[in-house]
Structure 1
Amino acid sequence: MMETNQKTGRLVRNTTVLIALSILAAACVASETTNNANTGGAEGTAAQPRMATYSCGEDGSITVENLGSAVRVQGTDGASIDLPAAPPTQNARFGGSNQAIVLEDGEALYMVAGKPTLSCKRS
């Protein structure tokens, strides 16, 4: 019984990671296609400030530091992680092995494998 629960837990965790990465990849393709058509190839999102705090409602807040080709995210648990741009040529989507963040129009969509996705607003 315990072995079945562990296998199910791993399956759920792996599926969550794959879904999050698929969403991130789909957002990259759709956003780049739309932006290139509307702006002649320039990125259509406003520049991310050097430091920004995003309120995630009852889940707390996250802090995002713009490092240029990456961001440093301090999550709701206080832990920090550096996430590179994904793909490297843009400035709104960042991701690593088990975390991703999309920054657009004063909002942040923060995804961590095995946890619910957080929808946050810049405060």
Structure 2
Amino acid sequence: MSDRKSSGGAFLIAAFAMIPLLPVASCVSEGHAGGAAAKATGTETTSQPTHATYSCGPRGTLTVDNFRTSVKLVDPEGESVDLPASPATQQSRYGETPYALVLDGKEALYMKSGKEPVTCNR
């Protein structure tokens, strides 16, 4: 079980390290990921509710009000944050220094600079 936590922590650290690359990633051609992008377009917008509460385990909860081009969230520490889509055409990645949020199905990855990233589930 500790191996799983260890690899999960490595994933979160890697994901957090990639935040500065989000704008660059939006410049990549969709040719290679076209099928996945088309599939995500059909399901991703419908799979993210307008209002959701995610359990972050012992850290608490993350509440997200999703307006598609932006989100308003209350993080596990009780801080209220408004984040724009990043890049602006996204409906699953939101961020503004020092925060980032990635929504994927029923999972939310929340990152705040200087803090350990947290994965939450609804």
* TM-score, structure 1 as length reference: 0.70
Tell me if structure 1 keeps the 8 A contact 2:57–2:120. Answer: yes
Please give the alpha-carbon distance, in whole angstroms, between the structure 1 residues aligned to 2:67 and 2:95. Answer: 14
Show the counterpart of 1:55: 55
Aligned-residue sequence identity (percent) comes to 38
Offset of residue 26 of structure 1: 7.2
Which ranges of 4 or more aligned residues in structure 1 deviate by more than 6 Å? none
Show the counterpart of 1:111: 111
Q: Letter of the aligned partner of 1:114 in structure 2?
A: G
Structure 1 residues 53 and 34 mapped into 2: Cα distance closer, same or farther (>3 Å)?
Answer: farther
Structure 1 residues 33 and 26 mapped into 2: Cα distance closer, same or farther (>3 Å)?
Answer: farther
How many residue pairs match? The answer is 105
Show the counterpart of 2:10: none
* TM-score, structure 2 as length reference: 0.71
Show the counterpart of 2:70: 70
Show the counterpart of 2:100: 100
Larger CA Rg, structure 1 vs 2: 1
Gaps of 5+ in 1: 1-17
Please give the alpha-carbon distance, in whole angstroms, between the structure 1 residues aligned to 2:31 and 2:80. Answer: 32
> Secondary structure at 2:87's aligned position in 1?
coil
2:38 aligned with 1:37: no
